[in-house]
Structure 1
Amino acid sequence: MEIQEKIIHTAASTEKVIDADYHHVYGYIAVVRKNRRRVFYKNSEALTLTTKISFSKVRWLTENTILLAETLADNDRPNIHIVSLEAGLLSSFHGGDCIRDVLVTADGIWISYFDQGVYGEGISTNGLVLFSQNGEVLYRYRHDNHNRVIIDDCYAICPGENGDIWLFPYYDFPLVSLHYRKNKTAVIETAEQLHGATAIAVYKQQAYFHGPYDSQNAIISAPLDEQSIHNKEICDIGSARGSLRGLPSDSGAAFINVTSKEVVLLSIL
């Protein structure tokens, strides 16, 4: 097992990468800060899109539509923005305060939250929420999942292969598979060596974890079991510095890695 690195965007000397996303068909979208301006790149092409929206995250919705999210938003202020690459801002809604991550799937827009949001006020107290692209609340983890694992802080989230998503919540750090349409949840206990990982990817019968407490740059693989992952099954397969996020299975076993100067696709072979 090896990790293949492919640099898909490099910022100029006057630029700093804010965030990026990758899709196996659309390619990549990246946002950089340049001389107090924000510049959008779609597959190396600088776009004419300009916006005064405050945001820290970008995600693909369709080939010509993106989502921009701001982490903090008190008093129900809109912080999720749907933006056309051609026409600009289309709509906005409040997606909760203290957003940790945003995941777009066929079911809608999944938003996970830091502990400050979980133990704060409003929609973020659910730990994980599914929204439609119109801002309609479709699913609230704490409210709608009665046989749930408690989310104190959703450290990592990634898409699965069969319409499910995977979570890695603090405090006990189980690996949780959630299938919204089937109203089904499966829980896998994990070894302490994996606890604290801030990015996960799941492909076929293998799970991958980045940045656990004891080895913050490590990428670790572990076979999926119906009940638990043990220390003896864990394999350190490499390392990466930056902010990683697990990609959909269409890209194979892969992470996107965003640093201040580069966007890198990490494929596990």
Structure 2
Amino acid sequence: MTEQTTHIDAGQSKILNLDADDQGNFIAFTDNKTVVTNDHNLKIEIDLRFPIIRRLDNETFFIADSRTEKDNNGYISKFSGQLVKSFLAGDGIEDIIVHRNKIIITYFDEGVYGGDGPNGDGLAVFDFEGQQEFGVNSSAGDMVIADCYCICKHGTNKVLFYAYTDLKVFELNLDTFKFESFETPNDFSGTSAISSTVDKIIFHSSYNDKRSFFSWDRNKKEVIKFGDYSPGLTGINNGKFLIYGDSGYTIINPTE
């Protein structure tokens, strides 16, 4: 297992939310309402109780409040400071990833079973204008997601997510919006983080083991348990994971 830690100079403020990749690119939001990236430092005037921030492209970013009472809680802004769009991103946001020019938002159970909105879909896909293009539960007919535990990018045009109540891994194609589920081993039941490589899916934590990694080779139908790391990881790309603190972040590359 290897780790790479990066310190972020945010002055006296603390990081409230952060996203990063394994190439050294990051975007963070601090408790004094400042957006910090590798080359931007921008103060914004948006009230957010539980912020989640993601970069959209070189010019724009997306920030949302995880909880809302039917008010707009998603904001697309330029790094110049201009607010481009606000929209209802849904209540009970669990995670957000940006892939294939899409904003993919997942929700936990309080959102799914809460008020009206995209949160009822369990997983919703938006374009960069804030228009919802797809929702899992409304497209499936019967509810598939009661609580989306974790999600990650998968290849050039797909995402993988792990959801309750079936406790299965699902694959969603962002071009066609077709999704399928896979019979999933119980070894990592209740996992809280997921990442993928070319031939394997890596998980961290389970209901019964909060610290181990699990490697699942779907073709060989084989699960290998390995490694040890504290809870709170988020899966990113290339089988790697992210964890952040008040003043920086660490990329973890687990190896079997």
- Report the TM-score, using the length of structure 2 for normalisation: 0.88
Structure-to-structure mapping, 1:142-181, within 5 angstroms: 142-146=137-141, 150-181=144-175
Larger mean CA deviation between 105-114 and 46-55 belongs to 46-55
For the structure 1 residues 13 and 235, does the alpha-carbon distance in structure 2 shift closer, same or farther, using more than 3 Å as the test?
farther
1:267 aligns with 2:247: no
Cα shift at 1:12 = 7.1
Cα shift at 1:26 = 7.2
Name the SS of the counterpart of 1:116 in structure 2.
helix
RMSD over aligned Cα atoms: 2.4
Q: Which residue in 2 is equivalent to 1:66?
A: 61
Amino acid at match of 1:29: I
Question: Aligned partners of 2:193, 2:229: CA distance in 1, in Å?
Answer: 11
Name the SS of the counterpart of 1:194 in structure 2.
coil
Q: Identity of counterpart residues, as a percentage?
A: 24
Residues 5 and 250 in structure 2, CA contact (< 8 A), matched pair in contact too: yes
> Residues 65-123 of structure 1: CA distance to partner in whole angstroms, max 9, x if unpaired?
21111111112x11111122222422211011111111111141111111111112212
1:245 aligns with 2:240: no
For the structure 1 residues 242 and 109, does the alpha-carbon distance in structure 2 shift closer, same or farther, using more than 3 Å as the test?
same
Question: Aligned partners of 1:158, 1:49: CA distance in 2, in Å?
Answer: 29
- Unmatched runs of 5 consecutive residues or more in structure 1: none
Question: Aligned partners of 1:155, 1:41: CA distance in 2, in Å?
Answer: 27
Q: Which residue in 1 is equivalent to 2:240?
A: 254
> Residues 171-223 of structure 1: CA distance to partner in whole angstroms, max 9, x if unpaired?
23111111132343232222222111111001111111112111112222121
> Residues 220-245 of structure 1: CA distance to partner in whole angstroms, max 9, x if unpaired?
2121239xx5xxx3223323335322
Q: Which residue in 1 is equivalent to 2:29?
A: 31
Amino acid at match of 1:186: E
1:114 aligns with 2:99: no
Larger mean CA deviation between 150-159 and 21-30 belongs to 21-30
Residues 49 and 85 in structure 1, CA contact (< 8 A), matched pair in contact too: no
Question: Aligned partners of 1:88, 1:183: CA distance in 2, in Å?
Answer: 31
